[in-house]
Structures are given as structure tokens and as C-alpha cells.
């Protein structure tokens, strides 16, 4: 069962909404929790035990932390001012120890389940290369769907409790729902405790507005996923699996269309997820903000998979930058390299940590690590050349906010994103490099004119429908970028206009959706990460 399945949208979701609304408010959160466990069971079966273990771990951590905080408070009441610092530090060490212990367990689970094969293979390979052949037995584990997402949520909860940003939750049910809420469990968004836990447990009744707005958002997401992303799957898979058979032109088209597919799939599913949450009166954080209007790679990552980016920022980038060693190093380097480049060198270390983690988080393969390093390099280069380029634009008298320069930067960023996604999707790092090389060594657009492009699973009608809906979504994105709230605008119009819009969405999905005979169902793409 996934979010686009009829059994989910036609039975599971309506039944959950109905039950949620017919029972008293104090029990509504329990309905969501049961529904979430049923959903997780349906996608991961017995592996639900890992989700439960994570929940219990979070709960125990919170309780231990709370006890230590209370104990510390009591001790601090009765001591002199001079000793307070010593006591605080003593307790800080204890809470840190508990935090590290719990985070290691959480990461240990994910490393064993998701990365042990990758690590084992690489160790075997390394020893073979240096002439000491070994063969470490590699166990293959079934990985619970969503483990990469809910583990990050669990860690963020523990870190926030440790930093005393939030109170430890004594209600294990609320924690369980926070981490397992069924719309978010497969692909996020990666929520913080402060974002959703209280809202979820509150159990506000579905209102007419939340129902209609939620359903509109679901419809919008289904259009993206089923009309564009799922339709492109056959062509993208064909090109990436058999890249040896195609020229550089086709590979470039495959690379561009994969980026479009991934965006439409992931952001489409996010629309569905956020729409479902909206029905239950839960406001989830947005994960996309018109990423293809970004003027730099740095900006791109503040608009694409936003909750992952902010997670890495808050729990890796800032802690590394703000550590005592970093601060000391910044002071020293500032003297040597100046106010801009001094801190930049230190933040580069933090940036490296973020992007190596980002790459590894996406999957246990070298092409993901390369994907992380690719973006690290681009962002770092961007930061280093920023003062130079500013001077350059000033010298040649080009205003930074001029339309021409903005367009150039948007196109440049988009092209860089395309190449990153090429390595991300490639079936191995070597394949990625071969495809990359082919784009430059064997580039031709002949296949567009000799019909070769129409032999990879899509006919001209498919391309036309992809183009039409891409333009529709582009126009909507431009309106959103300009600050227009499209749904609110529709809601203000008369019933004939509104219903026409709703029926247009429903029938666009029914008629132009890539499902049924001749299509293979495509599961949400980010669920595999």
C-alpha cells in the first residue's frame, strides 16, 4: 500500500478520516496511531519492531533526561553560585553520554540494516586490492521502509531534548504518533517534534475547509506523480539501464527527464502527504519551494528537500561550526585570511560533513557519496568565488538583480542540478561517469528527428502530454513564486469555477494518469532512500 494506491486513497484514508471524526476528540490521536501502525505493517510487516524500538528508545531517553534535569535543578537550589557551573557541567556530561548512547543505537540500527552490505563489499574489495584477500560474510537485511526518515526525526527529538529546546515527552503515545504518522512515514517531510507532535495529539476535527483544501492538494500531487513522473519512468529506466545503446543526446534527454521525474514524483508525493495531514488539521512543513528558480546550488538546497537540508544544518552544520575547536580555528584563520575567507575555511569542514552525510543518507552506493561531494564542491566553489564575481559584475556594470543575469544564473544552476541527478540515478558510479562522458563525446540531436527517441517506451502523444502539464506546473510555480496563493484564489471564486477546477484535476488524473494496462506501477521514488 502506497499513497497513490486506490486501496489507500479509496479505502484506508476515507475509513481513517471517518473513524477519526466520529469518535470523541480525546481518542482521535489513537485512531491516527492505530492507522499509522496498520499502514506501516502493510508496507514493512514484522519490521515494525524497529519502529517500535525507536519509539521506546526516544521515550526512555526523554524520561532519563527529565530525571537528570529535575535532579540537577534540585541540586542547584542548594549550592553556592561558584559550584553551580561544576554541577551543570557534571550533568551535561551525563546527558551527553545518554544522548551519544541512544544516537549510536539509532544509527547502529540503520547502519546494520542499510549499509552493512555496502561496507562489507568495500572492505572485501579493499583487502583484495592490497593483496590480502578476505571474504567477510555479508548479511543481507530487509530494511524497514522510511527508516532513514524516522531515524532523523528521532535524533532531532533527542538533540532538542538534550539542548533543552523542548520538554521531554512523558506521553509515549504522542511520541509514537509523532514518529509514525502514516502520511509522512515513507518519504517525510522530516518533521521536528515542535512542528507536529502537539498538533497530531490534539485531534482537531476535520473541517469543511481542511477537507476540501486537503483533497485539492492530494489531487494536485496525484497529477504531478501520475501524469508526469510515472509516465516518464519507462523512458528514464530504459535510458539509464541501457546507456551503452544510446548516443549522448539521448542520455542528456534522459538526464533532464529524470530530474523532472524525480521532482514531480517527490514533490507530488509531498503534496499528497501534506494534503492528507491537512485533512486531519495538521500543518506539516513544506519540503519544496519552486527549486528550479534557484540562482545557485546553495539556494537550490534551501528549496529542494527542505526538511532534510534544515536537519543537516541544525544537527550537523551548526554544531560543527559552533564547536569550541571551530571557534578557535575561526579566530586564528580570520587573522590570516581575513573576515570572509577565514570563517569560510572552517565552515567548509562543516559543509563537508553535511554533504558526506547527505550522500550516505541517500543510499549505500558510491554514486550517492559522489552526489554529495559534487554538491559540496559546487557550493564551496560558489562561496569562494562569490566576492570575485560580485567585483566582476560591478566592473562590467551588470546589476546583480538584472533579469538577464538572473536568468543566466537560474539556467546555470539548473544545468548543474541535471548533472548531479545523472550521477544520482546512474546504476553505479562508473556508469555515471560513462554517461557523463558520452554526453560530451557523442552528443547529437539526431534522435529527436529520426524517431529514435520514440522507441524507448513513449510515443509522441506521451511527450505532448508531459510538455503540456510541465508548462501548467511551471505557470503555477511562477504564480507561487510571485507570492500568489493559488488554492486560496480558487476558493474565493464562485462554485462553477471551483467545481470546474476540481473536476479538471480529477479527470486529468483519470484520463492522463500513467496507470493500468501497459504501465508498471511506480512506487514513490524517495521511499527507497
Nearer to other proteins, 8 or 162 (CB): 8
Beta carbons of 407 and 207 less than 8 angstroms apart: no
Does 512 interact with other proteins (rule: CB under 8 A)? yes
Peptide bond into 414 cis (omega under 30): no
Nearer to other proteins, 439 or 525 (CB): 525
Task: State the Cα–Cα distance between residues 382 and 385, nearest whole angstrom.
Answer: 5
Single out the residue of 304, 307, 264 nearest to residue 288, CA to CA. Answer: 304
Nearer to other proteins, 211 or 345 (CB): 211
User: Which range binds other proteins by CB under 8 A, 19-27, 130-138, 330-338, 502-510?
Assistant: 502-510
User: Which 442-461 residues touch other proteins, going by CB under 8 A?
Assistant: 459, 461
Task: State the Cα–Cα distance between residues 262 and 418, nearest whole angstrom.
Answer: 11
SS (H, E, C) 123-153: HHHHHHHCCCCCCCCCCCCCCCCCHHHHHHH
Among 11, 86, 104, 430, binds other proteins (CB under 8 A): 11
Query: Phi first, then psi: what are they for 332, rounded to 5°?
Result: -65, -45
Nearer to other proteins, 404 or 516 (CB): 516
Least distance between other proteins and beta carbon 17 (Å): 13
Among 144, 146, 513, 524, binds other proteins (CB under 8 A): 513
Least distance between other proteins and beta carbon 15 (Å): 13
Sign (positive or negative) of CA dihedral 45, 46, 50, 52: positive
Distance from first CA to last CA of the chain, Å, rounded? 17
Q: Could you give the string, one character per residue 203-232, with x where binding to other proteins holds by CB under 8 A and - elsewhere? A: -----x------------------------
Does 506 interact with other proteins (rule: CB under 8 A)? yes
Does 517 interact with other proteins (rule: CB under 8 A)? yes
Task: State the Cα–Cα distance between residues 181 and 526, nearest whole angstrom.
Answer: 17
Nearer to other proteins, 6 or 15 (CB): 6
Does 41 interact with other proteins (rule: CB under 8 A)? no
Helix axes 172-180, 25-44, angle to 10 degrees: 50
SS (H, E, C) 52-66: HHHHHHHHHHHHHHH
Give the cell for residue 44. Answer: 514493512
Single out the residue of 122, 142, 107, 110 nearest to residue 366, CA to CA. Answer: 122
Does 503 interact with other proteins (rule: CB under 8 A)? yes
Least distance between other proteins and beta carbon 169 (Å): 34
Beta carbons of 288 and 307 less than 8 angstroms apart: no
Beta carbons of 210 and 281 less than 8 angstroms apart: yes
Does 521 interact with other proteins (rule: CB under 8 A)? yes
Does 6 interact with other proteins (rule: CB under 8 A)? yes
Least distance between other proteins and beta carbon 206 (Å): 12
Nearer to other proteins, 69 or 454 (CB): 454
Among 398, 408, 510, 528, binds other proteins (CB under 8 A): 510
Residues 488, 492, 496, CA angle at the centre, nearest 5°? 120
Does 7 interact with other proteins (rule: CB under 8 A)? yes
User: Which range binds other proteins by CB under 8 A, 5-13, 107-115, 141-149, 162-170?
Assistant: 5-13
Nearer to other proteins, 376 or 512 (CB): 512
Nearer to other proteins, 6 or 126 (CB): 6
User: Which range binds other proteins by CB under 8 A, 26-34, 72-80, 173-181, 512-520?
Assistant: 512-520
Query: Phi first, then psi: what are they for 192, rounded to 5°?
Result: -95, 160
Least distance between other proteins and beta carbon 179 (Å): 25
Least distance between other proteins and beta carbon 268 (Å): 18
Phi-psi category of residue 164: left, alpha or beta, with phi > 0 → left and psi -120 to 50 → alpha: left
Does 507 interact with other proteins (rule: CB under 8 A)? yes
Q: Could you give the string, one character per residue 159-198, with x where binding to other proteins holds by CB under 8 A and - elsewhere? A: ----------------------------------------
Residue 516: Cβ within 10 Å count: 7
Least distance between other proteins and beta carbon 497 (Å): 14
Beta carbons of 287 and 262 less than 8 angstroms apart: no
Chain positions contacting other proteins, by CB under 8 A: 1, 5-7, 10-11, 208, 459, 461-462, 495, 499, 502-503, 506-507, 510-513, 515-518, 521
Amino acid at each position: 500500500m502506497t499513497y497513490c494506491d486506490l486501496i489507500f486513497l479509496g479505502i484506508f484514508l476515507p475509513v481513517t478520516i471517518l473513524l477519526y471524526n466520529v469518535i470523541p476528540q480525546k481518542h482521535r490521536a489513537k485512531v491516527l496511531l492505530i492507522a499509522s501502525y496498520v499502514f506501516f505493517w502493510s508496507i514493512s510487516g514484522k519490521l515494525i519492531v524497529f519502529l517500535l524500538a525507536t519509539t521506546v528508545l526516544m521515550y526512555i531517553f526523554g524520561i532519563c533526561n527529565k530525571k537528570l534535569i529535575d535532579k540537577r535543578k534540585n541540586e542547584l537550589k542548594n549550592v553556592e553560585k561558584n559550584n553551580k557551573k561544576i554541577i551543570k557541567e557534571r550533568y551535561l556530561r551525563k546527558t551527553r553520554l545518554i544522548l551519544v548512547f541512544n544516537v549510536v543505537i539509532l544509527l547502529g540500527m540503520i547502519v546494520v540494516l542499510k549499509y552493512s552490505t555496502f561496507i562489507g563489499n568495500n572492505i572485501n574489495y579493499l583487502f583484495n586490492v592490497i593483496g590480502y584477500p578476505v571474504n567477510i560474510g555479508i548479511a543481507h537485511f530487509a530494511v524497514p521502509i522510511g527508516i532513514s526518515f524516522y531515524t532523523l526525526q528521532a535524533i532531532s527529538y533527542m538533540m532538542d531534548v538534550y539542548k533543552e529546546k523542548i520538554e521531554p515527552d512523558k506521553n509515549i503515545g504522542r511520541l509514537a504518533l509523532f514518529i509514525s504518522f502514516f502520511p509522512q512515514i515513507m518519504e517525510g517531510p522530516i518533521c521536528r517534534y515542535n512542528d507536529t507532535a502537539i498538533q497530531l495529539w490534539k485531534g482537531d476535527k476535520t473541517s469543511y475547509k481542511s477537507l476540501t483544501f486537503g483533497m485539492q492538494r492530494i489531487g494536485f500531487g496525484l497529477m504531478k506523480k501520475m501524469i508526469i513522473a510515472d509516465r516518464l519512468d519507462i523512458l528514464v529506466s530504459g535510458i539509464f539501464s541501457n546507456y551503452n545503446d544510446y548516443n549522448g543526446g539521448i542520455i542528456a534527454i534522459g538526464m533532464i527527464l529524470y530530474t523532472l521525474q524525480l521532482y514531480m514524483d517527490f514533490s507530488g508525493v509531498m503534496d499528497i502527504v501534506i494534503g492528507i495531514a491537512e485533512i486531519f488539521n495538521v500543518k506539516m512543513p513544506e519540503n519544496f519551494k519552486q527549486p528550479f528558480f534557484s540562482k545557485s546550488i546553495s539556494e537550490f538546497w534551501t528549496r529542494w528537500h527542505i526538511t532534510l537540508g534544515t536537519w543537516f544544518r541544525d544537527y550537523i552544520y551548526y554544531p560543527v561550526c559552533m564547536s569550541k575547536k571551530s571557534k578557535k580555528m575561526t579566530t586564528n584563520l580570520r587573522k590570516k585570511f581575513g573576515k570572509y575567507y577565514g570563517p569560510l575555511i572552517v565552515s567548509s569542514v562543516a559543509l563537508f560533513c553535511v554533504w558526506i552525510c547527505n550522500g550516505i543518507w541517500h543510499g549505500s552506493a558510491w554514486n550517492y557519496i559522489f552526489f554529495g561531494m559534487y554538491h559540496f564542491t559546487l557550493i564551496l566553489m560558489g562561496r569562494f568565488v562569490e566576492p570575485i564575481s560580485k567585483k566582476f559584475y560591478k566592473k562590467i556594470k551588470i546589476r546583480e538583480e538584472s533579469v538577464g543575469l538572473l536568468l543566466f544564473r537560474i539556467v546555470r544552476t539548473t544545468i548543474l542540478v541535471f548533472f548531479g541527478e545523472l550521477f544520482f540515478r546512474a546504476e553505479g558510479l562508473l556508469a555515471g561517469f560513462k554517461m557523463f562522458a558520452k554526453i560530451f563525446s557523442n552528443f547529437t540531436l539526431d534522435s529527436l528527428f529520426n524517431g529514435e527517441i520514440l522507441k524507448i517506451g513513449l510515443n509522441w502523444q506521451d511527450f505532448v502530454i508531459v510538455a503540456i502539464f510541465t508548462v501548467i506546473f511551471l505557470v503555477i510555480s511562477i504564480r507561487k513564486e510571485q507570492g500568489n496563493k493559488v488554492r486560496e484564489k480558487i476558493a474565493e471564486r464562485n462554485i462553477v469555477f471551483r467545481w470546474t477546477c476540481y473536476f479538471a484535476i480529477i479527470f486529468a488524473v483519470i484520463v492522463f494518469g500513467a496507470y493500468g494496462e501497459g504501465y508498471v506501477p511506480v512506487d514513490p521514488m524517495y521511499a527507497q532512500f
